Amino acid sequence: MLKGKNALVTGASRGIGRAIALELAKQGANVAVNYSGSEDRAQSVVEEVRQKGVESFKIQANVADEQESKAMVKQVVSDFGSLDILVNNAGINRDNLLMRMKEDEFDQVIDTNLKGVFQCTKAVSRQMMKQKGGRIVNVSSVVGVSGNAGQANYTAAKAGVIGLTKSTAKEFASRNILVNAVAPGFISTDMTDALTEEQKEGMLSLIPLEKLGEPEDVARVVRFLASDDANYITGQTIHIDGGMVM
Amino acid sequence: MADVFDKVKEIIVDKLEVEEPQVTMEASFKDDLEADSLDVVELVMELEDEFDMEIADEEAEKINTVGDAVNYINSNQS
């Protein structure tokens, strides 16, 4: 399905990013695994990806930094020869009530979760324009659509990603670069494991399918959006949330 | 000078799918050669590759005509 394609997944050392890297690899794509701090975990993802019979390497970069993003993309293009799929997944959270949220908690989340998408998209745009095609999939969140108390920074960034996705889709449509977003709901990852039982119960009561999603549920949709099956889809945000936000 | 112009013309004819006689030094990319903003960005990228130079965004924004591009290349080529 993605045989011979070259992909870069940001924030791929764990959770949803890891699942996306493995799913793309399973379909035949070579995958560069970006990480920020977790080098060991990134290395083990690289090894898992290689077990699918494709090429892989890890690459450290802070996606919010222009120079680091550029250098990362350059490295991937030089190693793989092209870059067909970019998945902007890297994200952090610094949850707090707005009244208690510090400026740097707000800035850090916007920097990584929103500006990081801009930096990496800009960094790959030249290559994808030259190739006359490419796929960009941005990982937003349903709370970017619905809002969520205690996550003013995170929801602002994730809503921003949806707007950025639409503008990028319009700018690059004529060059056959398709840009879409996925909006995961309550997915079982380290980020959600950190919640209390009470918080989890509260979330579950909002999900019509009455269960958490798995990272693989998100990964399969990303793989679809990155494939030729999604040739006529751009600028869209697909919710993967068990019906939580409609 | 003539070499640079010829090379630039060749790239423009190829990229913008226009006829050679349309590509004069005075021709404006957007008004005369029907290029959109993204076409111009793409063209600048091609020129960078062809002439092995980097054109900063601020400089690239000033390139409106074929002559602007040719003159920039002539005065910045090492």
The number of distinct structural domains making up chain B is 1
B38/A130 touch (CB, cutoff 8 Å), yes or no = no
- Asked, for residue A198, whether it belongs to a domain, the answer is yes
Strands, E assignment, B1-78: none
* DSSP structure class, residue A33: E
Residue A102 near residue A80 (C-beta atoms within 8 A) = no
Q: Is B45 on the interface with A (CB under 8 A)?
A: yes
In a domain, A230, yes or no: yes
Rounded to a whole number of angstroms, the distance from the CA of B37 to the nearest CA of chain A is 10
Confidence class of residue A197 from pLDDT cuts 50, 70 and 90? Answer: confident
| Enzyme catalytic residues of A | 154
Distance CA A120, CA A68 (A): 9
Longest distance between any two alpha carbons in chain B, whole Å: 31
Residue B31 domain boundaries: 4-77
Task: For chain A, say whether B48 makes contact (Cβ under 8 Å).
Answer: no
In which element (H, E) is residue A130 found?
A: helix A116-131
What is the ipTM metric for this complex?
0.80
- Write the single-letter amino acid at A131: Q
Q: Is residue A246 included in any domain, yes or no?
A: no
Whole-number mean pLDDT of chain A? 96
CA gap A59, A34 in Å, rounded: 5
Q: Of B42, B44, B55, B57, which to mutate for an interface test with A (greatest number of A Cβ within 10 Å)? A: B42
Whether residue B1 is predicted with pLDDT greater than 90 in this model: the reply is no
Residue with tokens 């919710």: A239
Between strands A237-240 and A85-88, the pairing is unpaired
Which strand (E) or helix (H) includes residue A184?
A: strand A177-184
Check residue A34 and give its pLDDT: 98
Look at residues A226, A69, A216 and name the one whose alpha carbon lies nearest to residue A136: A226
Q: For residues A244 and A236, give the distance between their C-alpha atoms in angstroms, rounded to a whole number.
A: 18
> Around A207, how many Cα atoms within 13 Å sit in the side-chain half-sphere?
20
Tell whether A1 is covered by a domain.
Answer: no
Binding residues of A for NADP(+): 11-14, 62-63, 89, 154-158, 187
Q: Domain range spanning residue A173?
A: 6-240
Compute the nearest-CA separation of A157 from chain B (Å).
27
Chain B residues with CB under 8 Å of A171 CB are 38
8 Å CB contact of B45 and A126? yes
Distance from CA of B2 to the nearest CA of A (A): 27
Using CA atoms, how far apart are residues B67 and B70, in angstroms rounded to an integer?
Answer: 5
Per cent of chain A over pLDDT 70 is 100
Task: Give the pLDDT of residue A162.
Answer: 98
Q: Which two tokens stand for residue A1?
A: 């399905």
- B38 and A171 in contact by Cβ < 8 A? yes
- Please give the positions of B annotated as active site: 36
Whole-number pLDDT of residue B18: 93
Handedness of CA A43, A49, A53, A55 (dihedral sign): negative
Residues B38, A174: C-beta atoms closer than 8 Å = yes
Asked if residue A92 is part of any domain, the answer here is yes
Quick one: pLDDT at residue A220?
Answer: 98
CB-based contacts of A91: which residues, under 8 Å, 6+ apart?
A11, A112, A113, A116, A139, A157
Tell me which chain B residue has its CA closest to the CA of residue A172. Answer: B38
Q: How confident is the model at residue B78 (pLDDT cuts 50, 70, 90)?
A: low
Q: Do A130 and B45 touch (CB under 8 A)?
A: yes
CA of B59 to nearest chain A CA: how many angstroms apart? 17
Question: For residue A200, what pLDDT is reported?
Answer: 84
Task: Tell how strand A30-35 and strand A85-88 pair up.
Answer: unpaired
Q: Please give the tally of structural domains in chain A.
A: 1
Q: Residue A170: closest CA among chain B residues belongs to which residue? A: B38
Q: Check which CATH number belongs to the domain holding A64 and give it.
A: 3.40.50.720
* DSSP symbol at A212: -
Residue A153's identity, in one-letter code, is N
d(CA A192, CA A12): 17
pLDDT digits (tens, 9 = 90+) for A200-246: 888 899 999 999 999 999 999 999 999 999 999 999 999 999 999 99
Q: What is the CATH number of the domain that holds B64?
A: 1.10.1200.10
Tell me the per-residue pLDDT of B13-55, one tens digit each, with 9 for 90 and over. 998 999 999 999 999 999 999 999 899 999 999 999 999 999 9
Q: Is the pTM of this model over 0.80?
A: yes
Q: Cα separations (Å) of A193 from A9, A199, A201, A212?
A: 22, 10, 12, 11
A174 to chain B: which residues are within 8 Å by CB?
A: 36, 38
Residue A195's SS3 state is coil
Angle at the Cα of A120 from the Cα atoms of A119 and A125, rounded to 5 degrees: 100
